Amino acid sequence: MEVHKPKPVRNWREFLTEIGTIVLGVSIALAAEQTVEAIHWHNKVVEAQEEVIATELAGSMANAIERIAMEKCGEYRLDALGRILDTASHTGQLPPVGDIGMMPLRQWTSGAWDGVIASQTATHFPRQQLADLALIYGFVRKAMRSPSLRWGPGPN
Q: Beta-carbon neighbour count of residue 69 at 10 Å?
A: 9
| Residue 91, Cβ density class (10 Å: 0-12 exposed, 13-18 middle, ≥19 buried) | exposed
Rounded-to-integer distance, Cα 27 and Cα 31, Å: 6
Cα distances from 83 to residues 80, 89, 148, in angstroms, run 5, 10, 22
SS3 104: coil
The model's pLDDT over 47-75, given as tens digits with 9 standing for 90+, comes to: 888 788 888 888 888 888 888 888 888 88
What's the pLDDT at 34?
94
Predicted confidence band at 90 (pLDDT cuts at 50, 70, 90)?
Answer: very high
Q: Is-contact 97 58, C-beta < 8 A?
A: no
Rounded-to-integer distance, Cα 121 and Cα 53, Å: 12
Share of the chain above pLDDT 70, in %: 92
Total-model pTM: 0.60
Q: Beta-carbon neighbour count of residue 45 at 10 Å?
A: 18
What's the pLDDT at 153?
44
Instruction: Return the percent helix, strand and coil in the chain, to nearest 5.
Output: 70, 0, 30
Predicted confidence band at 1 (pLDDT cuts at 50, 70, 90)?
Answer: low
Q: Beta-carbon neighbour count of residue 18 at 10 Å?
A: 13
